[in-house]
Amino acid sequence: MNDIIHDYLLKHIPKSTPFFEELEVYAKEHEVPIMEPDSLHCLLQILDIQKPERILELGTAIGYSALKMADKLPKTEIITVERDEERYKEALHNIERYGASDRIKVLLTDAIEGSEEILTYGPFDAIFIDAAKAQYEKFFHIYTDSLAPDGVIYSDNVLFKGLALDMSPEKQRKLRVARKMRHFNDFLVTHPDFDTTTIPLGDGLSISKRKKTGGIS
């Protein structure tokens, strides 16, 4: 996106409250990856339109995006998964401070190895994938069946700082994750059961919805 347009859009995103500003500063100082403000704002707007009753988030980190979703959707239950124990504890702390423990459940487990437990909390109206980038396609395969009929899968970081678009042999040999992400994007757009669009905000946000069946012939 043109830098002038990007800067213009960023200036029109509402300013964070002191609580979320604190989390943003913490994430920056401790190099904790959180969603870019423009893609997060877009995700929250779409979720507000969708009004999901239950969301599955793969990749809690410090609880920032889960809390943002809870703030936007006060009637929504969020199941979020984190495999790093230190970040898990930090997320629990932040969620308790915010008073959202009754609506956000954090599971300390791996999204692949712990999938059997995670799936017991389904079905989910929305699934937000923001965990190990090289495993996105596996996540999609594992959790598709737990998606409600009109549910939506959101995947963050699909452009991977633009590296997923660079297919030069030098870059692809060095950047296995970028190659995996490019394959995931191809997988999404050619999936026989889902329609996917990618929004070039932040680090790239893809939106996948199950195709409608039947209709007038």
Rounded Cα–Cα distance for residues 164 and 156 (Å): 13
Q: Would the annotation count 102 as a binding residue?
A: no
Q: Determine whether the annotation assigns residue 2 to a binding site.
A: no
Show me where the domains of the chain are located. 51-208
d(CA 69, CA 65): 6
pLDDT (0 to 100) of residue 164: 46
Known binder of ligand: residue 65? yes
Is 110 marked as a binding-site residue?
yes
Q: Among 4-8, 30-34, 46-50, 135-139, which is the least confidently predicted range?
A: 4-8
Residue 6, pLDDT score: 73
Say if residue 164 carries a ligand binding annotation.
no
Q: Is the peptide bond before 123 cis (omega within 30 degrees of 0)?
A: yes
Q: Is 125 annotated to bind ligand? A: no
Between strands 124-129 and 205-210, the pairing is: unpaired
pLDDT (tens digit per residue) in 32-61: 999 999 999 999 999 999 999 999 999 999
Nearest residue to 160 (alpha-carbon basis) of 108, 202, 114, 120:
202
69 is in an annotated binding site: no
CATH architecture of 51-208: 3-Layer(aba) Sandwich (3.40)
- Would you say 82 is a known binding-site residue? yes
Q: What is the pTM of this model?
A: 0.89
